[in-house]
Structures are given as C-alpha cells and as structure tokens.
A and B are shown apart, each in its own frame.
Chain A
Amino acid sequence: MSVVTKPVTMPAPSFEAGTEDNYLTHTSGFLSWALTLDHKRIGLMYLAGVLASFAGGGVLALLIRLHLWNPNIDKTQALFSNQVYNQIFTLHGAIMVFLFIIPSIPAALGNFLLPIMLGTKDVAFPRLNLSSFYLWVGGALFFLFSLFATGLDTGWTFYTPYSIESRGPVVAATMGVFVLGFSSIFTGLNFIVTINTMRPPGMTWFRMPLFLWATYATAIIQVLATPVLGITVLLLAAERVLGIGIFDPKLNGDPVTFQHFFWFYSHPAVYIMILPAMGIISELISVHSHKGIFGYRMIAYSSIAIALFGFLVWGHHMFTSGMADVTTIVFSALTFTVSIPSAIKVFNWIGTMYKGTVSLNTPMIYALSFIFLFTIGGLTGLFLGALSVDLHLHDTYFVVAHFHYVMMGGTLVAFLGGLFHWWPKMTGKMFNDFAGIVSAAIVFVGFNLTFLPQFVLGTRGMPRRYASYVEEFQDLHRLSTIGAMMLGTGLLVAGLTLLHSLFYGKKAPMNPWGGATLEWECQTPPPHDNFSTPPTVGDPYDFSNIEYDSKIGGYFKKKR
C-alpha cells in the first residue's frame, strides 16, 4: 500500500554538502520567522519560549530552596518575608505548569515532528498553529506582568475565597491562564485533525509511531479539558470584578465548587504533561535498543485509556476539602484504575530493552532515568490515591515530592531525552555525547537528592507552601537544597552542551541513531517542505534493514 515513488532511503549525497537549502535557511529576516507558517520554525520558537520559561521558573525554585535552607523561625533571619515567599512559590508553580510543562513537548517537539512523522508538508491549520504560538506569548506577557507587579500569592491553584480577597494581580494572572488555555486548545485541535486527515497512504492507525499516538491522546485531553479551565478562570475574574458570588462564601457561593471546576481540568492536565513524555520514551527506548517496541498495541491503547480514565479522578485532589464522603470513596477507587495503563507502558518498555542491543548514549540515559523516576512518582501516587493515607499526606511535602517525580523526573527528563534525540534532526548538528551523559548523570543524582528527602519530610508532617519549619526538619531540607543546586548544575550542563553543539558540533547524518520512523528519512535539517518526494511508509519499529555506515557516522535503510 505504499506510494510507489523512489524511496529516499539511500545515504543522501547531500550529506557532505553544507549549503543545501533547509528550513532554517529557506528564508531569512525577522518577519520570515515572526510570520512563518512553517511548523518547524514555530516549533523552534516555542522551544526557545518554553526553555526561557523553564529557566525563569527554575530560578524561582532555587530561591525557594535557598530560603528553606534555614528553619526561618526567626523571621528576621529569613531570606524572604512570608509574603514574598508566597509570591515566589505561586509564580514558580504557575510559570512551570502553564508556560513550560503543558506546552513543552506538544508545542516544541510535537509541532516540529508531527508532520514529518506523517510524511506530510505541514499541520492541517498552519495559521492556527502560528496563532497558538502568539497566544502562548500573550499569556506569557500576562504572567510576566504578574511577576513584576508582584503580589500574586494565591498558589498556582487560585483557591477561593483567598483568590477573591487577595490584593495581588489575580485577574491579570487568570486572564493569562485563559489566553494560554486557548493556545493549548488550538494546538490540540490542530494535531487531532492532522493525524486524522493527513496520514499518508499506507499509514494506518497501527502503523503510526507511538509518539503520534501519545500526541493524539494528549490532544484529546487538551480539547476536552482546557475549556473548563477557561470558564473557571473567567468566572474567577468575574468574581473579583463583579462579585458574582458563585465561589464566594460571603455571597452564598461555594469554594468547593471552584475546586471541582478547577480540578476537572487540572487533573487531566497532568496527563497532558505526561502522555507526550511517554510517547517520547517509547521512541527512545526502541530506537536505542535497536529493537521493535514490545506490545505496540497495548501501548497505543493505554495512551487512549490514560486520556479517558484521567477524566474520572479529579476529586482525589479534594479529599480534605469538604466533599461528601461517598464522593471521596468513589474518586479514590477510580484513581487506582488510572495507574494500570501507566504500568503497562513501563513493563512494555522494559520488555523492549530485553535482548535488545542497547546503546547507552545521552537520549537513552535520559530514557532510563525516566523509567526509574517515573516509576517512583507513579507508585507514590498510589499512596496519595488511597483515601485514608491521603488524609494524612494531603498538603504535605509528600505531595510535592510525588508531583515533582512525575512532572520533573518524568516529563522534563523525557523532554530532555527527546531534545537530545531529535537535536541532530532539528539543527543538523551533533552534540558532545559524553557531556550529554554527564549532564544526565548529574541531573539524576541531583534530582533524587532534592526530592527523596521530601517524601520523608512529608510523612513526618512538613506541610507544603510553608515558609518556615521546625528544627527537626532542617537536615532533610538542607539535603534537598544541596540536591537542587546539583540539579540546576546538571541542567546547565545539558543546556551548554546543546548550545555548544550549535557552534562547534559536527554535522549530523540523516539518521544518527538508526530510527525507522519517517523523520529519519528526510534531510537533516529538513527542507522547507519536509520531503522532496513522499516517503515510503513502513513499519515504524522495524529495524531489521537499518544498518550503520561508519563512513557517514549514521544509519541508513537498506533497499529491500
């Protein structure tokens, strides 16, 4: 069923030439980037944006950890006042969640890869894609305003009634969230339509790369859940401006209603964060083990399952809020079901590596870190899903550690792995693999040092979002702070490695890792229209005819 054209699978003669036209050089000038409709350029712009946001949010995190070096019982010795501390963790959370984690993989990597993996020229709605980017920028500006106006101290969750009474720029921040929500919605919409209507002949659903399955599941959540966040923050803004009273107990409103509205989005949102990461890991593990993915269908189905089950469990964020008892029990039971598809994936990844030829290069090290860290994160989620245990652990550092393990140890690590993995394709340069591995190692050790002690802190009773604590927690907090510094260093090394490659990196071959998906069959970096001839669609995980050629330092697909 494949298109009968000459397959572009031989070592490209253009490999050696350094001057062929690609998407980076196709046109030049500020406007050619600012008004581009090329999904690859949009992806790169997103990448710059989310990495900048990550840096900002990361600095805030380091400030938090520095502040918590001391117990701060004596306020005058503390690094920040309580009010400022509240603002720091609020901005850290809001920036990380809305500006970095949610857009990162879909918008930066997904935008770049999706059409190429489909062998097509662009996404279904390129102008909508560009609008998504500018909406992201707009939302970022709102948040920047909130940052400098300061005073936003409600926590990233904006719980009422405090968010109604707080003097901070809640309306500005919530309008920023509203705008960012639409960015996310339009991206998801674009991806669903593209995958549905622009697959090439021969690429049935079950011949799609798993990264696309993951992206598709993510997009479903984006389209279904984000509007509810939109109406929630809109009503919150109306609450502050018009006093509509829906969430305000003083006006007979109900704060628990706000939490229901908020978490109906924000729980599926965490699956928006993790599903694309899992998609990346499926790619990384199979390519770097040079072995077909184990249990393709189960992984594909589990992605959809996670997306759907994820809508059933939002109440587990509200066990202590005053919900009815029946509701808490129902949500707790449902929460356990959502762990099953995730576990299936972990087993399948391990099954993929078994008897594979594992290349321990940078992307693979990150992928292995992911499996370890995400497993811990996921398992600790079960503790929190158990109603009786959660009543003790809710709003403690246990929760903080749990979500950092899944969001940072999971999504961020996968994002970095994916970034290293596709960096050669995106930029045409190879990075220094040893430096990359070093960065992965430092990140891994630093991360565990930061957040493992926090599990202990949580079970011992340290509440989250507190600017001070009792003496007995000091050692654990200090370990955590040291870890954070290490983590920051590792991330810096990773960033510098990639930056260095832009200037001094070797030219990358078309297929440095030996992947079988379509993006490895287009030029490196891709030309403006991705493929000069429509590529042949094969099995995305069939590595049997992919061989290494040391002359080009990369792989090629032998003609059948």
Chain B
Amino acid sequence: MSTTVAHDSTEKHQVEIHEHPSWLAHHFDDAQQQFDAGKMGMWLFLVTEVLFFSGMFCAYALFRNRDPEVFEFCSRFLNEKLGAINTGVLLFSSLTMAWAVRSSQLKETKTLIGMLGATLGCAAIFLGVKSVEYSHKWGLGLFPGKFFQSQLENPVHTENNYLWNLCIIPMILLVCFALYYAYGVITASKFHQRVAGPLVIAAICFFGGVGLGTFLESEEHEAGGTVVHNAEGEHADHADHAEHDHQHAAAESVKPAISFVTEDTSGIHGDVAITPAELVTPVSAVNQKGMAGLFFSIYYCMTGVHAVHIIGGMAVLTWLIVKAARFEFHSKYYGPVDNVGLYWHLVDFIWIFLFPLLYLIT
C-alpha cells in the first residue's frame, strides 16, 4: 500500500528500500509474488467451496440411491427449459468473466467494465429465473421437508404473492441504483456513471429474467393438457409441466399409488383434476413429507446455497466494477479480477453439475 522504508534506528547499516507502488502490498517483494500468492489463495478457497458443496452432493447421492422413485416423481416439478436457460446464462457469464480478465490484463478498461457488467447482468437474469421457479413451487406447496404439502390435499395459494415478495428487494435496489446513476449524471461524475450504469442494467436484467421465466412457464401451461393441481384463480403464468405429468400419469397407470391425475375434470376449478373423493385416497408412498419432501429439501438446499454464492459473487463483482472505474488494473496488477473470475467460474462449475442431477432426471 504505502512506501515502506524500514528503519531500525539501532541498526547502523541502511536497509533495502523497496519502492512499492500503491498496488503492491508492503509485505510482498514483487508483483509476481503478490499475484502468485493471491491466485493460490483463491484456489485454496475454491477447494473449501468444493468440499462445502460436496456435503450436499453426498446427501443427494445417498437419497437418490435409497429412493430413486422419489426422484423420478419429483422431477416432473422441475422445469427443464428454465434449467437449461439458466445453464446457458451462467455459461455466458463465465465467458464474459474470462473476457473481463483478459481486458484487465490489457488495460482495456471500458471493455472490462462492460464485461463485468455483463457478468453481473447474467447473474441477475439467473436469479430472476430462479425466483420464478421458486415462487412457482411454493405456490404448489412444494416446501422443504416438514413443510412439504402433499400434492393431493393442499389448497393452493396464488403464487403471485411469492413472486412479488421475491421481487421487493430487487425493486428497491433498482430504484437505488437509478438514483445513484441520476446522481452521477447530475454531478457530471464519470466515475459514478461508470459504476452506476452496469448496476442499473443488472437490476433491470433481474426483471428480464423474471419475465423470461414467467413466459416460459406459461408456454408450458398452454401447451399442456390436463392440469395437475387444484388451482384457484388465474394461473396463466405458471407452468405445470402438464404434458409431462400427463405422460407420467399414463405410464404409471400400473402403479396407481403414484398417479394423481384422473380423467374426472369436474372439480373446484374448470381444469382441476381432483375430486373431493380422492382427497381421502391414501397418500402415495412418495407423495409425502419424508419422500418428496426430502427431495425438495435437498433441491432447495443445493440451489439455495448456490444462489447465496451467486449473490455473494454479485457483491464482489460490484466491488470490482468500482475498482475498474478507478482505472486500477493493468498487466502487473489484475489479480483481483482474475481471482474473482476463478470464484465465478466455480459457481458455474457447481451449476454444471447441479443441472443434470436435479433437472434431467428421467
């Protein structure tokens, strides 16, 4: 940080005076050492993250081995399309992040900020799509573990509540960032504009993600035939994989315990498949707390902890944008960008495994 002149007043001979530029910490001898140390430190941190997630992968493996039919049953509730979109979005964000590292090494600051902003935006889209997925599931009563509501019995709440709840904080942030940008314009501060711009765009991207997710869910709904759950009110915007369910139901006519779709379409709502008589049908073996509920516990834990890491990553990316806007990076000091990049790629790495394990179960 500051120039260090180590003076020991009792020593007669002069010490080596290191001319340390501001970006070189005083305890490092040169830029190479600082870079190597930072990189190794980040790789070690990634090791801890890998081991951290491994616990949940272990739980997943144990339960899937034990009760594979539970996983098959629950896979119908997970929207493959949304999962694939999220995968693509994260892969793209990895691209922009790697590009950002390149830009920082070449001192291309505008590209750097653009790429960091793009990464932030992709993260926001990811979270937007995730919000739609989560709120849709909560609307169906698919809560973790002991709160899980078996799919025959629940009066379904409108899911819009959940989605709006999830959108509150992003909306507040959007307003704050917009105000910040306005402040930057008013004070004619290029620095503030440079920082606020990507933030505003990222916040907007969140709602883009929500829109995209909502659109894709409703597409599923219209394409499908029989509605699965006893819904109330307008539910044009949730997908319920009706197609999948219908197919599954047909395929599982040999296993009546699992099927919960009937031909009887008289019900509470025009397209509800449940008759009051069926409400007293014994709960199927998998359609209950300790079975499907367990699956969703694992699902929420894995994707939830992953989402927390995305949010953390977004915070760090913001910090990077601030530093980039101050023109701090160059070919001998780009460690922070590189190391945040490593972290971000790990988040992508985890998702690369989560996607097939959770979404692509047949």
Q: Give the B-binding residues of A (Cβ under 8 A).
A: 6, 12-14, 17, 20-21, 120-126, 128, 185, 189-190, 192-194, 196-198, 223-228, 230-232, 234-235, 238-239, 242-246, 248, 250-254, 257, 261, 527, 529, 532-534
Contacts and interface: CB of A to CB of B under 8 A. Distances in A.
Contact of A228 (B13, B44, B52, B290): B52
Interface string B53-73: 111101100110000000000
A257 B62 contact: yes
A189 B291 CA distance: 39
Contacts of B234: none
A251 B52 contact: no
B37 interface: yes
Interface in B18-36: 25-28, 33, 36
Contact of A223 (B11, B36, B47): B47
B150 to A, nearest CB: 13
B294 A17 contact: no
A222 B97 CA distance: 30
A20 B10 contact: yes
20 contacts: A12-B10, A21-B8, A120-B27, A122-B27, A123-B27, A193-B40, A194-B37, A197-B40, A227-B51, A231-B56, A232-B55, A235-B55, A238-B301, A244-B146, A244-B298, A245-B290, A246-B59, A254-B62, A257-B62, A261-B58
Contacts, number: 142
Contact of A527 (B8, B33, B147): B8
A126 B27 contact: yes
Contacts of B41: 124-125, 128, 189-190, 193
Contact of B6 (A14, A126, A234, A529): A529
Residue among B10, B289, B291, B294 having the largest count of chain A Cβ atoms under 10 Å: B10
Nearest to B49: A227
A529 B17 CA distance: 13
B13 A6 contact: yes
B55 A261 contact: yes
Contacts of B37: 124-125, 193-194, 196-198
A120 B57 CA distance: 41
A559 to B, nearest CB: 15
B11 A246 contact: no
A221 B33 CA distance: 24
Contacts of A193: 37, 40-41, 44
B180 to A, nearest CB: 27
A272 to B, nearest CB: 14
Contacts of B131: none
A252 B45 CA distance: 34
A267 to B, nearest CB: 15
Contact of B44 (A123, A192, A533): A192
B281 interface: no
B144 interface: yes
Nearest to A115: B27
Closest 10 CB pairs of A and B: A243-B146, A252-B290, A231-B55, A244-B297, A532-B8, A245-B145, A227-B52, A227-B51, A122-B27, A244-B145
A197 B55 contact: no
B51 A243 contact: no
Given A228-B54, A261-B55, 17 more contacts: A13-B10, A124-B27, A124-B41, A128-B41, A189-B41, A193-B41, A193-B44, A198-B28, A198-B37, A227-B54, A235-B56, A243-B147, A244-B294, A245-B290, A250-B290, A251-B294, A527-B8
Contacts of A257: 59, 62
A166 B268 CA distance: 42
A297 B323 CA distance: 46
Contacts of A13: 10
B47 A246 contact: no
A243 B27 contact: no
Given A197-B37, A223-B44, A251-B293, A230 B52 contact: yes
Contacts of B53: 231
Contact of A192 (B25, B40, B63): B40
